[in-house]
Amino acid sequence: MLMNRGNSEAKLHYGPSGFRVLRHGQHVRCAVSGAVIPLEELRYWSVDRQEAYATPEIATRRFLES
């Protein structure tokens, strides 16, 4: 059975200066808003929480909550 990679969610391990792909896919979801983030547009994440964020504002708000 072939998978449609065009709409598959990736699983990543977030590091301090990049991320490692654990399961191949085209996007991840923002941990706060649920927005789809294409991997080539992913810029904001938390190493400690291991979650991705769609915008710098969302990332900052999440950081200030902790």
Supply the pLDDT for residue 7. Answer: 81
Picking from 41, 38, 2, 47, the residue whose alpha carbon sits closest to that of residue 20 is 47
Give the burial class of 21: count Cβ atoms within 10 A of its Cβ; 0-12 exposed, 13-18 middle, 19 or more buried.
exposed
In terms of DSSP bridges, do strands 44-46 and 51-53 run parallel, antiparallel, or are they unpaired?
antiparallel
DSSP 40: G
Write out pLDDT tens, residues 11-49. Answer: 999 999 999 999 999 999 999 999 999 999 999 999 999
Supply the pLDDT for residue 66. Answer: 79
Domain boundaries, the chain: 5-65
Supply the pLDDT for residue 6. Answer: 58
**Mean per-residue pLDDT, 2-7:** 55
Element containing residue 63 per DSSP (H, E): helix 56-65
Mean pLDDT for all residues in the chain: 92
- Confidence label for 3 from pLDDT (cuts 50, 70 and 90): very low
